[in-house]
């Protein structure tokens, strides 16, 4: 028999102040290992990136079921088989942010760790991860980027995905450099 009182374990630490939230709930674009209701993001892209990273860390996969401009829902691709995992985020007009409003989990659907090319590890996600590396060295080798992604996510990305991500990031870096050069020459 357990001596743990379940009502006490879930009670607020300060019952006089029910509106006090844990600090990590208030952080914008926080990067915890778990998702939680109330988690906020500056943009939809940031939310999608965090969900993809969560999937890769958990070695699972899911699908988008509602991709609207103010609502975004992802669920386990095996939901019909009884694997009940899904997350819903909405754009909150008042805050001008995306916020996780509903989260049903944890993941009970398991898949074996993939060795190569996770579906969610696409060129956009890779591009987001390699930004500092490409900014520091525009001539960085694609194989170095592949090794970085493998070290970070335990998945080996294809050369094509890494090359496309590098080209996108390289293009962004050179556009910024050209704009700075033009602004200096105008002054």
Residues 92 and 130 in one domain: no
State the total domains in the chain. 2
Q: Alpha helix (H) ranges present in 59-158?
A: 123-136, 142-153
Q: What is the mean pLDDT of the chain?
A: 75
Q: How far apart are CA 59 and CA 55, in angstroms?
A: 6
In total, the chain counts a number of residues equal to 187
Q: How far apart are CA 46 and CA 39, in angstroms?
A: 12
Query: For 125-168, what is each residue's pLDDT tens digit?
Result: 888 888 888 888 888 898 888 888 888 777 778 888 888 988 88
Residues 130 and 98 in one domain: no
- Domain of 139 in residue numbering reads as 123-186
For residue 6, the model assigns a pLDDT of 46
Residues 97 and 150 in one domain: no
Q: Is the pLDDT of residue 12 over 70?
A: no
Where is pLDDT greater, at 66 or 111?
A: 66
171 is a domain residue: yes
Distances (CA, A) of 92 to 21, 34, 41, 178: 18, 21, 10, 36
Predicted structure pTM score:
0.54
Distance of CA 161 to the CA centre of its chain: 18
């Amino acid at each position: 028999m357990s001596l743990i009182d379940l009502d006490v374990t879930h009670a607020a630490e300060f019952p006089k102040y029910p509106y006090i939230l844990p600090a990590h709930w208030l952080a914008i674009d926080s990067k915890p290992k778990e998702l939680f209701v109330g988690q906020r993001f500056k943009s939809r892209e940031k939310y999608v990136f965090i969900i993809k990273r969560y999937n890769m860390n958990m070695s699972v996969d899911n699908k988008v079921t509602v991709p609207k401009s103010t609502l975004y829902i992802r669920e386990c691709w095996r939901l019909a088989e009884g694997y009940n995992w899904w997350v819903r985020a909405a754009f909150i007009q008042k805050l001008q942010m995306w916020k996780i409003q509903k989260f049903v989990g944890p993941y009970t659907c398991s898949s074996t760790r993939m060795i190569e090319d996770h579906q969610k590890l696409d060129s956009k996600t890779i591009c987001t991860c390699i930004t500092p590396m490409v900014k520091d060295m525009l001539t960085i080798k694609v194989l170095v980027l592949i090794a970085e992604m493998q070290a970070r996510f335990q998945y080996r990305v294809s050369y094509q995905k890494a090359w496309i991500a590098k080209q996108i990031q390289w293009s962004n870096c050179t556009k910024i450099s050209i704009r700075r050069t033009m602004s200096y020459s105008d002054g």
